[in-house]
């Protein structure tokens, strides 16, 4: 892999990730861009302690532009975009409209391919491996920033999820605090360790799923995918490496090599859940990683969470009263049934 670092016209960082060592990336961004808008700020809810990012500059971000105006496609024929080159494999750049910036963290955009009409599931294994390398690189680099405590690499796919740009891409958030979800997992792990005389919660959850077997979706040499016992979403998968590690840079070569095949299979199954003729399944897919400076980070288990808000053809699961107001999810699909369906739609 070759990484080439450059700058966009307003000073934001742009990184190209190429599979070939002889790739040349020297096309300059000549757009007359203004300097980035004022930084976001973090405010904390005094009742529950959660951090909230206030980022008014995001009001101006593009909303469903036409394909010929996509800012994530390569620059061509006098149409400059966020990617100055005429073609690319994987590109990462600082978000022009970040939710987190300055002393309040960092946001980056990850473009998986220059093909506007593709999806992650359309990539081959080599390209998926290059995306994994980019996620790993950015996690390690953002760990060095004093303003970043935790990194979340994720993809939102589908307008039902709220995606504003159709080009296949994801994002990387460098949070300036430990997120509420991660904090609760760490608290649960600490309580489990105390209650069981030192056992690891993540290890025990994985062992329980293997022993039960009904919710296993995919079981490979280095990865295990299952629907959680208390899944919140209609179709939800957790993907764990067999060897527990705290974050992406800690993955061993064997798990790293097998990941593309496993992940692409899961994404392709997601698009087959609801049968032929249905539109692509909307989803959120994101890596849960340990905070960089937490005293018990080594006890955290890296895992990928993949879920969809679609519960049946033409029907969505909405985050409404109970979920949005009280954070109590109600799932209309039994996890065991969801796992069974995800096994049924495996590739031949």
Clarify whether residues 190 and 222 are in a common domain. Answer: yes
State which of 149, 175, 201 marks the end of a domain: 175
Same domain, 86 and 212: no
Are both 254 and 194 inside the same structural domain? yes
pLDDT at position 57 is 84
Give the pLDDT score at 28.
96
Q: Specify the pairing of strand 235-241 against strand 283-288.
A: unpaired
Q: Do 171 and 201 fall within a single domain? A: no
151 DSSP β-pair partners: 174
180-196 helix and 201-212 helix, angle to the nearest 10 degrees: 80
CA atoms within 13 A on the CB side of 34: 4
pLDDT for 161 equals 92
Residue 89: both structure tokens together: 């494999």
Would you give the DSSP letter of residue 102? G
Do 43 and 167 lie in a common domain? yes
Beta strands in the chain (DSSP E): 2-7, 13-18, 41-44, 51-54, 90-94, 106-111, 150-157, 169-175, 216-219, 223-226, 235-241, 283-288, 303-308, 310-312, 315-316
* Residues constituting the chain: 348
Domain boundary among 130, 151, 175: 175
* Residue 116 counted as an annotated binding residue: yes
Tens digits of per-residue pLDDT, 135-173? 999 999 999 999 999 999 999 999 999 899 999 999 999
- Predicted local distance difference test score (pLDDT) of residue 68: 87
- For residues 154 and 197, state if they share a domain: no
pLDDT at residue 279, rounded to an integer: 95
Q: Three-class SS of residue 192?
A: helix
On whether 73 is known to bind a ligand per the annotation, the reply is yes
Same domain, 149 and 31: yes
Q: Which parts of the chain register pLDDT below 70? A: 37-38
Contact between residue 303 and residue 240 where contact means Cβ atoms under 8 Å apart: yes
Instruction: Say what percent of the chain tops pLDDT 90.
Output: 92
Q: Which helix (H) or strand (E) holds 145?
A: none
185 shares a domain with 98: no
Which two structure tokens, joined as six digits, stand for 305? 């969470």
Give the span between the Cα atoms of 151 and 176, in whole angstroms.
9
Count of domains observed in the chain: 2
15 lies in which domain range?
2-175
Residue pair 35/10 in contact by the 8 Å Cβ criterion: yes
Q: CATH number for the domain including 270?
A: 3.30.428.10
Among residues 169, 240, 288, 303, the one annotated as catalytic is 169
265 lies in the same domain as 220: yes
* Angle of the 125-142 helix axis to the 253-270 helix axis, nearest 10: 120
Of the residues 133, 148, 175, the one at which a domain ends: 175
Assigned token pair, 91: 């590109």
- Give residue 97's pLDDT: 93
pTM score of the predicted model = 0.96
| pLDDT 10s digits, 291-319 | 999 999 999 999 999 999 999 999 999 99
Asked if residue 170 and residue 24 are part of one domain, the reply reads: yes
Question: Do 171 and 292 belong together in one domain?
Answer: no
Are 266 and 131 part of one and the same domain? no
Beta bridge partners of 4: 16
> Is 169 marked active-site?
yes
């Amino acid at each position: 892999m070759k990484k080439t670092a450059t700058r966009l016209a307003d000073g934001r960082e742009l990184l190209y990730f190429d599979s070939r060592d002889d790739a040349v990336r020297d096309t300059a961004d000549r757009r007359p861009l203004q300097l980035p808008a004022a930084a976001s700020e973090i405010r904390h809810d005094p009742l529950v302690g959660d951090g909230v990012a206030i980022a008014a500059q995001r009001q101006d971000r593009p909303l469903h532009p036409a394909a010929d105006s996509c800012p994530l496609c390569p620059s061509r024929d006098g149409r400059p975009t966020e990617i100055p080159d005429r073609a690319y494999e994987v590109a990462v750049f600082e978000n022009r409209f970040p939710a987190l910036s300055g002393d309040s963290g960092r946001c980056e955009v990850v473009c998986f391919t220059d093909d506007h009409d593709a999806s992650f599931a359309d990539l081959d294994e080599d390209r998926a491996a290059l995306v994994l390398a980019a996620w790993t690189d950015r996690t390690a680099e953002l760990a060095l920033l004093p303003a970043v405590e935790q990194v979340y690499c994720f993809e939102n796919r589908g307008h039902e999820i709220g995606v504003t740009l159709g080009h296949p891409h994801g994002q990387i958030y460098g949070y300036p605090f430990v997120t509420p979800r991660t904090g609760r997992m760490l608290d649960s792990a600490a309580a489990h360790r105390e209650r069981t005389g030192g056992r690891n919660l993540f290890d025990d959850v994985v062992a329980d799923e293997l022993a039960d077997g009904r919710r296993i979706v995919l079981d490979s040499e280095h990865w295990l995918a299952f629907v959680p016992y208390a899944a919140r979403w209609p179709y939800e998968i957790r993907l764990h490496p067999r060897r527990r590690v705290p974050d992406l840079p800690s993955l061993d070569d064997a798990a790293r090599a097998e990941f593309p095949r496993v992940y692409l299979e899961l994404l392709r199954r997601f698009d087959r859940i609801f049968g032929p003729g249905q539109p692509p399944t909307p989803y959120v897919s994101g890596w849960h990683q340990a905070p960089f400076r937490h005293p018990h980070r080594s006890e955290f288990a890296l895992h990928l969470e993949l879920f969809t808000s679609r519960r049946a053809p033409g029907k969505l699961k909405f985050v409404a009263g109970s979920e949005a107001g009280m954070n109590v999810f109600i799932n209309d699909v039994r996890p065991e049934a969801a796992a069974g369906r995800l096994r049924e739609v495996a590739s031949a």
